[in-house]
Structure formats: structure tokens, C-alpha cells
Amino acid sequence: MAPGKVIVIYGPRRIGKTTLLNKFVETEPDIEILFINAGDKEERKLLDRESLVRLADILKRYSILIIDEAQVIDQLELKLKIIMDDARELKIIVSGSYSLDLTRENEDALAERKIILNQYPLAEMEIAKAEELEEEGNSLEARLIYGSYPEVIMMPGKCLKEEYLREYGKSFLYRDIIKMENLIYTNKMEHLLKYLALRIGTDIAIRDLADELEIKKNMAERYLDLLEKVFYIYRLDGFKRSSPREVARNRRYCFYDNGIRNAVIRNFDPLEKRDDINQLWENYIITERLKRQEYLSQKCTTYFWRTRDKKEIDFVEEINGKLHGYDIRREPATIDPPAEWSKNYPDAQFTVIHRENYLKFIL
């Protein structure tokens, strides 16, 4: 890590960001590190505007500044710039459970100094390397139903997992969004999440969503944006390049964690009792693939593809101008890509991802 740089670690709550930072401190006993937990009111006072001069004097004794729970700090980027302009050899690591105040104001203040790292619930590629997680109860079916938050994976019983996941949204999601964004609580956010959870793999028109929730379109857009910033959901845009028959106006939304998705619809039934296995599978595979891309630093743009007559490809990757389409289904099958896809993009590759070959896709 070079002096004068800021590493920003984003990710949902309770996925191990603080643990990761503490482990880093333990591995560097010979380096002077100042660790500020911004979630603590007293420690956070060091980052008040009137305290920055005193903090600058304190930092002369340190090589690294770590700020955990940084999302609660107002005008964070501006304050970091002030600190770094005064202490040019300082290295800074910042963690936040959502990307609100870290980018909302003065977003160019650290444009040339900021390195962003995203952290997610445990990836399959991480679980596969940890023998203690490969025990009974952490099967693929368990991850499809309960997801891969670290605490959930380590919990011994289904009841504990379900209780944790149900409480997660109540204690973190609404606290973060409503408190930090000064929103008045309504059940619209819950309805929106349920609407999305039941439509994984389906095009979402914002106007239809707004009408369903009986809210204005701009409010629906704001809710979606906030849910993305707290790492509950992410979106795929439609791919369109060659034909007016291609549809790219709408979006598709996935959840970063299957367990959170199932908590939203209040359904933790085993797979044999469910009618949404294909949705669970598609959400899981696409999300694990995105984690893999992030952790391997692969520069890739992702989409879905669909035509007006409902021919579609579930997942499309574009890497260095080359396209690869993926049909995602649980059971093995040999199918050809849609004829219009092959016609429009003759050099593109096409692969079916299923339960017998999926590990090669996500590990």
C-alpha cells in the first residue's frame, strides 16, 4: 500500500470487515496504526471538523490510519482529503457498510487517491478453501436457502439461521436507510423488496414497480438506489447493440445473498417443497460469478439479453470487447443459443451453466 492512498472497503454489515481490519493490525505489530471506530461517539469526535487540527498532530506518530464504520461520518471524503493534504505519507484504510456518505458529496475530492474494494457474504471460492465450513449443514442446498453470511454458515441449527436472517433486515437495513437518509418509515421498502424477490430473472419496469407500490417513479428510483448502496440488491442492465428488436430499457435485480432474499419472502422451506428453485439457482450462480470477478480483479461488464418476442439469455459478460452468453438452469441440458443472438453476435460464445458444471464457473 503506497503512502498517500486511501483503501475503501465496502460491504454489507456483519460480513467480517471489522474482523479483517483487526487481523491486519495483528499482522503488523511493528507499524504504528491508529484505529478509529466511528461507530463509537467518543472516538468519532476525532473526526469532527473542529478536531481535525488536533487529529493531524496526533497522526504525526502513526503510519496508518484505519477508520471503521466510516459511513456515519459527515463529509467523509472532504475530511480525508484535509487529513491527507496535511500528512502526505499517511496510509488510510476506511470501511463502510454502505456507500452513502463515502461518495455522495465531494466525490472528486479523492479521485486520484482512492482504491475501492468490495467485500461480500462468503463466496463459494472462499468456502471451498475452508475445511471447517465444508461440514454437514453447509451444503449447496443450505446456501441456496440460507445464504452465506459468515455467522449464518457457522450457526448449528436451522432455527437460529432463520431467526438471524429475519432480524437482519429489521435491525440493519431500515436503521441504515431510514436513519441516515432521514426517511419516514413506511412499509413501501418492504413491499419493494418482496416485489423484487419474487421476480428474480424477470425484467423490472420502474413505472410498473411504482404503480404496484403506489408511489411516484422518482421515489421508486430512490428506494432502489438506496437498496443497492446497502448491498441488498444489485442490478443487471439489458444488453443492446445490433437490433431494434433487442430490449434494454428495463432492468433485472438480484440479491447479494439468497438467505436475505428468502427472509424477505419469509420462506425457508427445503428445495423439494419450493416452486422457486430456478430463481434461487439463478440468483446464486450470478452472484457467485460476480464475487469471483471482483476478487480476481477481472474487468468485466455484465448484462442480460432479451428480445421483444421474449428470446433471452440469462447472463452476458463482455470482456475486452468479447461477448459470452450464459443460460443458467439447474438441470443439465444441451441447447443452442437464440438464433437472433447468433446472428447479431456471430463471434460470441454461449454456455449452459447447470449443477454438474457450475463449480468451474464460480471457483
Tens digits of per-residue pLDDT, 251-267? 999 999 999 999 999 99
Percent above pLDDT 70 for the chain: 92
Tens digits of per-residue pLDDT, 301-353? 999 999 999 999 999 999 999 999 999 999 999 999 999 999 999 999 999 99
- Asked if residue 113 and residue 134 are part of one domain, the reply reads no
Tens digits of per-residue pLDDT, 136-162? 456 899 999 999 999 999 998 999 999
Q: Is residue 57 part of a domain?
A: yes
- Asked if residue 160 and residue 67 are part of one domain, the reply reads no
CATH of the domain at 39: 3.40.50.300
254 or 168, greater pLDDT: 254
CATH of the domain at 313: 1.10.10.10
Residue-range definition of the domain harbouring residue 84: 6-118
- Asked if residue 294 and residue 254 are part of one domain, the reply reads yes
Give the pTM: 0.93
- Asked if residue 187 and residue 106 are part of one domain, the reply reads no
Q: Is residue 1 part of a domain?
A: no
241 or 98, greater pLDDT: 241
HEC per residue, the chain:
CCCCCEEEEECCCCCCHHHHHHHHHHHCCCCCEEEEECCCHHHHHHHCHHHHHHHHHHHHHCCEEEEECHHHCCCHHHHHHHHHHHCCCCEEEEEECCCCCCCCCCCCCCCCCEEEEECCCCCHHHHCCCHHHCCCCCCHHHHHHHCCCHHHHHCCCHHHHHHHHHHHHHHHHHHHHHHHHCCCCCCHHHHHHHHHHCCCCCCECHHHHHHHHCCCHHHHHHHHHHHHHCCCEEEEEECCCCCCCECCCCEEEEECCHHHHHHHHCCCCCHHHCCCHHHHHHHHHHHHHHHHHHHCCCCCEEEEEEECCCCEEEEEEEECCEEEEEEECCCCCCCCCCHHHHHHCCCCEEEEECCCCHHHHHC
Percent above pLDDT 90 for the chain: 74
Structural domains counted in the chain: 2
Q: Is the pLDDT of residue 104 over 70?
A: no
Q: Is residue 270 part of a domain?
A: yes
Q: Which of these three, 97, 118, 139, is where a domain ends?
A: 118
pLDDT at position 319: 97
- Asked if residue 71 and residue 29 are part of one domain, the reply reads yes
- Asked if residue 217 and residue 196 are part of one domain, the reply reads yes
pLDDT at position 136: 45
Q: Which of these three, 93, 118, 143, is where a domain ends?
A: 118
Q: Is the pLDDT of residue 173 over 70?
A: no
The mean pLDDT of 245-253, rounded to a whole number, is: 95
- Asked if residue 185 and residue 113 are part of one domain, the reply reads no
